Amino acid sequence: MRTVTELSNHKPMDPPALGEPYLLTPGPLTTAYSVKEAMLRDWGSWDDDFRAMTAELRQRLTALTGDTKAEFDCVPIQGSGTYVVEAMLSSLIPRDGKVLVLANGAYGMRAAETLQYLNREHTIINKGDYMPPRGDEVAAALDADPSITHVFVAHCETSSGILNPVAEISKAVYAKGRKLLIDSMSAFGAIPLDVNEIRYEAMVSSANKCIEGVPGFGFIIARKSELEAAKGRSHSLSLDVHAQWKVMEKTGQWRFTPPTHVVAAFIKALHIHEAEGGVAARGALYAKNRDVMVAGMRSLGFETLLSSHWLSPIIVTFFCPSHPNFAFENFYDLMKAKGFIIYPGKLTVVDSFRVGCIGRMDEHVMKRVVEAARQSLVEMKVDSAAPSDEALAERAKLAA
Ligand SMILES: *Cc1c(COP(=O)(O)O)cnc(C)c1O
């Protein structure tokens, strides 16, 4: 746990409560104290005050896409991010549609699984644990199968931390006259997804990622024409995006009990986001976090799965050291004792762990993360953090 002395060494922007470990995870993440404080009152869901909060939330989120022509609208949906992915897929894809899922990790595969539940026809380009789907292979797949109507991609595939080339993919999709749906869960708010730069029909994200709120709802930002067309498509009452949208437009209310405190916290987080400089500043802060943390970890001998070109400013995958004394569980406990919660890896082929760069943290915190990793290696008697040859061979595939 952090001590008072440690805290006084630097002034984070708005530090978490004393004694809380930093969450170096892709959400839930470390939130500002003032965001937590915003939850210290109760709201009536039907009351004008809360309706105004819902309207503000929708308006501010839509504005983050650069939509100046009022072509898009935002619909929040109760639940975690997966709920809003399912809501988007079931509401925006016609029952006789067919989806090309671009998968390079767990979230792409989860979208395919969701389509299975929804009985929507789909096909997958599965790139394995992390290789990026590229525009030319998307174009070829669309040429080969004219029945494909939609393409799904994860913006940042959080399982490896790779930032997928969505601009290139969007060009390929629309050149072939199809529609793009983006899971920008872990990227939105820090990495631009400007509708004037990158064409798409809809994107989804959630409260507890780069806007730095607490978990409890997700949101879809979609073309109004797509929201209109979604009428009657959903298999699910509670995940019906069209119905939620229509009721919100008419009454200003959510259809079923909204997560009122989460919304209040999120609005505070949106105000902080704007005051700090919006998407560009948030992205720059996280990129600095990543650069300081990755440089420090590399200086200790750790190696990243991805080359610098593909590293997102969201979360970074490191190979576990091959040293016989290294065990991830011990490393995790030692890091936690120093005030930092890290994240297990999701690679199927080699052992890895992840360190997140998002949340209320700056480069000073990231330097302390590196120092904690150094000390933890000493305590484990691991004198080299170098990965196995197998891990390095795996990585060479990406460079090829
Ligand atoms: C966090 C995340 C989700 C949603 O996961 P939940 O556990 O349901 O919040 C979906 N896609 C991506 C890329 C994510 O990072």
> Which of residues 225, 250, 274 is at a domain's end?
274
pLDDT tens figures, 198-221: 999 999 999 999 999 999 999 999
Q: Are residues 215 and 290 in the same domain?
A: no
CATH label of the domain that carries residue 360: 3.90.1150.10
pLDDT at 52: 98
What's the confidence (pLDDT) of residue 6?
41
CB of 312 closer than 6 A to ligand 1? no
| Gap between the Cα atoms of 212 and 79, Å rounded | 16
Where b means 16+ CB within 10 Å and e means fewer, 362-399 reads: bbebbebbbebbbebbeebebeebebeeebeebbeebe
Q: Is 186 in the pocket of ligand 1 (CB under 6 A)?
A: yes
Which of 229, 253, 274 is the last residue before a domain boundary? 274
Above 60 in pLDDT, residue 10? Answer: no
Measured in angstroms, how far is the CA atom of residue 43 from the centroid of ligand 1? 27
Ligand 1 proximity of 27 Cβ (cutoff 6 Å): yes
Q: What percent of the chain has pLDDT over 90?
A: 90
- CA 4 to ligand 1 center in whole angstroms: 34
Q: Encoding tokens for residue 243?
A: 């119905």
Q: Say if residue 186 is in the same domain as residue 309.
A: no
The amino acid present at 224, given as its one-letter code, is: K
Say which range, 81-95, 183-197, 211-225, 385-399, has the weakest mean pLDDT.
385-399
Are both 331 and 360 inside the same structural domain?
A: yes
Instruction: Say yes or no: CB of residue 259 within 6 Å of ligand 1.
Output: no
Same domain for 268 and 132? yes
- Pick 175 or 10 by higher pLDDT: 175
Beta strand extents in 324-369 (DSSP E only): 340-341, 343-344, 352-356
Pocket-testing residue among 183, 191, 214, 220, ligand 1, by greatest number of atoms within 8 A of Cβ: 183
Residues 84 and 141 in one domain: yes
CATH code assigned at 105: 3.40.640.10
For residues 197 and 342, membership in a common domain is answered with no
Three-state secondary structure call for residue 15:
coil
Residues 379 and 392 in one domain: yes
Q: How far is CA 229 from CA 72, 115, 238, in A?
A: 13, 19, 18
Residue 175 is predicted with a pLDDT of: 98
Nearest alpha-carbon partner for 74 in 231, 224, 183, 191 = 224
Distance 201 CA to ligand 1 centre (A): 19
Q: For the segment 261-288, what is each residue's pLDDT rounded down to a tens digit?
A: 999 999 999 999 999 999 999 999 999 9
User: Structural domain tally of the chain?
Assistant: 2
Distance 103 CA to ligand 1 centre (A): 14
Cα distance between residue 323 and residue 364, in whole Å: 29
Same domain, 218 and 285: no
Task: Give 205's strand partners.
Answer: 219
More reliable by pLDDT, 10 or 275: 275
Residues 205 and 301 in one domain: no
107: CA distance to ligand 1 center in Å? 7
- My answer on whether 191 and 258 are in the same domain is yes
| Ligand 1 pocket check for 107: Cβ under 6 Å | yes
130 and 49 both lie in a single domain: yes
Q: Which two tokens stand for residue 306?
A: 């991805």
Indicate whether residue 158 lines ligand 1 (CB < 6 A): yes
- What distance in Å separates the CA atoms of residue 221 and residue 5, rounded to the nearest whole number? 44
The reported pLDDT for the residue numbered 7 is 38
* CA nearest to 67, candidates 203, 175, 212, 228: 203
Read off the pLDDT of each residue in 54-61 and give the average, rounded to a whole number.
98
Atom of ligand 1 nearest to the CA of 83: 8
* Residue of the CA atom closest to atom 5 of ligand 1: 81
- Residue 206 Cβ inside 6 Å of ligand 1? The answer reads yes
Q: Ligand 1: does its nearest atom lie under 6 Å from the Cβ of 81?
A: yes
Q: Domain containing 100: what range?
A: 37-274
CB 184 within 8 A of CB 163: no
Out of 112-121, 136-145, 339-348, 357-366, which region has the weakest mean confidence (pLDDT)? 339-348
Mean pLDDT rounded to a whole number for the chain? 94
CA distances to 209, 239, 278 from 70, in Å: 25, 24, 20
Show the 3-state SS of 142-160: HHHCCCCCEEEEECEECCC
- 225 and 287 belong to one structural domain: no
Ligand 1 pocket, residue 80 CB under 6 Å: yes
205 lines ligand 1 (CB under 6 A): no
> Residue 397: what pLDDT?
79
Pocket mutation for ligand 1, best pick of 78, 157, 181, 185 (most atoms within 8 Å of C-beta): 185
Angle at 264 between CA 60 and CA 57, to 5 degrees: 15
Where does a domain end: 220, 239, 274? 274
Is 151's pLDDT higher than 70?
A: yes
Query: Measured at the alpha carbon of residue 380, what is the angle toward residues 378 and 383, in degrees to the nearest 5?
Result: 55
17 pLDDT tier (thresholds 50, 70, 90): low
Task: Compute the distance between CA of residue 65 and CA of residue 187 in angstroms, rounded to an integer.
Answer: 12
The span from the first CA to the last CA of the chain, in angstroms, equals 43
User: What pLDDT, on a 0 to 100 scale, did the predictor assign at position 14?
Assistant: 56
Classify the C-alpha dihedral 391-393-396-400 as positive or negative: negative
Nearest residue (by CA) to ligand 1, atom 4, is 81
pLDDT at 399: 67
Kindly indicate the confidence band of residue 1, based on its pLDDT and cuts at 50, 70 and 90. Answer: very low
Please give the Cα distance from 40 to 51 (Å, whole number): 18
The pLDDT-based confidence of 5 (bands split at 50, 70, 90) is very low
Confidence class of residue 349 from pLDDT cuts 50, 70 and 90? Answer: confident
- List C-alpha distances in Å: 362 to 13, 229, 286, 288, 296: 8, 43, 8, 8, 14
